[in-house]
Amino acid sequence: MKRRQFIAAGLGLAVGGRLALAAVKDGPGTAQSLEVEVWKGLRPGLFGERDINIDADGIISLETPYRAADAAAVPIAIRGLLDGRDGRYIKRMWLLIDQNPTPVVGVFQFYPESGGADVETRVRVNDYTFVRAIAETSDDKLYMTANFVKASGGCSAPASKDAAAALQSLGKMKLRIDPPATPGGAARAQLLIRHPNVTGLAMDQMTRTYPQPYYVRKIEVSYRDKPVMNAEVTFAIAENPSFRFNFRHEGAGVLVATVEDTENGHFEARAQVDANGAS
């Protein structure tokens, strides 16, 4: 847990400080059994004194492997479960990894046009830990769910299996529509960005120095000029960031993804979607 100062990196959120100002509410679910130290420190900065409902059934689900095959690229999904029938939708989701040097993985923003709040990505996990997903609904209520994941070393692992090739292709993007995209319904797309997403936590032993953190921090996706998903993320996202998300397919249009990294690198990808939902 070295270099804790990175806790507050990236999101500009006042998440530092490990004072336990607020305890997790008692209630049903797993909150009492959750290892709460880190969470107690994070919660005030992120959510203040707001109530967090730990019965998230029917609101969100979190999918994680129990044991990671590769701690530097652990696949995770947060799925919004509201069907819109009660008029509510999920407008924001947080992804947190308690035991990571930077517990906040990211904040994902959704819109009525999003076609359902749902995001799959890959994260670095540094130690055996709880992973938490917190959803904010359109009526400003918070819901939390959490899973335990066994993995270690993901953040201090070096970025790349092929360092030279990784630098050459930096900024290359792929934006593709999952088949089949049903016209008028929710379509699904994947955004891939070639980026080392350097954590700054893997020491170079010969120079005894840490590299500068260098990672994708912002993603904005729109379809037919309407926002689909905006995300602010940290280097807890794995190398070559991948995001799968929904968008509502209502006629032909262009899906546009813009990406910004911590060195003010800007990257853009577009996918033309025809009336039949093919790209």
Distance CA 22, CA 27 (A): 15
Minimum CB distance to other proteins smaller for 8 or for 192: 192
Question: Please, are residues 195 and 170 in contact by the beta-carbon 8 Å criterion?
Answer: yes
Residue 273, judged by CB atoms within 10 A of its CB (0-12, 13-18, 19+), counts as: buried
Which of 107, 157, 229, 257: binder of other proteins (CB under 8 A)? 157
Which C-beta is closer to other proteins: that of 90 or that of 238?
238
Cβ proximity to other proteins: between 20 and 70 the closer is 70
Q: Is 212 in the site for other proteins (CB under 8 A)?
A: no
- The CA distance from 103 to 10, in Å, is 11
Nearer to other proteins among residue 26 and residue 66 (C-beta)? 66
Q: Rounded to whole angstroms, what are the CA distances from 258 to 19, 116, 222, 255?
A: 37, 20, 9, 10
Count of C-beta atoms within a 10 Å radius of residue 105: 27
- Say whether residue 178 binds other proteins (CB under 8 A): yes
Distant-in-sequence, close-in-space partners of 21: CB < 8 Å, separation ≥ 6: 40, 43, 44
Q: Tell me how far apart the alpha carbons of residues 203 and 231 are, in angstroms, rounded to a whole number.
A: 28
**Residue 24 beta carbon to other proteins: minimum distance, rounded to whole angstroms:** 28
> Which residue among 31, 73, 131, 236 contacts other proteins (CB under 8 A)?
73
One-letter amino acid at 163 equals A
Does the protein bind other proteins through residue 109 (CB under 8 A)? Answer: no
Contact pick of 1, 14, 21, 163 for other proteins (by CB under 8 A): 163
Determine which residue in the list 36, 77, 81, 170 makes contact with other proteins, applying CB under 8 A.
77
Candidate segments 44-52, 105-113, 129-137, 163-171, binder of other proteins by CB under 8 A: 163-171
At a CB cut-off of 8 Å and minimum separation 6, what does 238 contact?
72, 73, 74, 121, 122, 123, 124, 154, 197
CB of 192 to other proteins, least distance (A): 6
81 binds other proteins (CB under 8 A): no
Which residues contact other proteins (rule: CB under 8 A)? Answer: 63, 65, 69-70, 73, 75, 77, 120, 122, 153, 156-158, 161-165, 169, 172, 174, 178-179, 192, 194, 202-207, 238-240, 242, 244
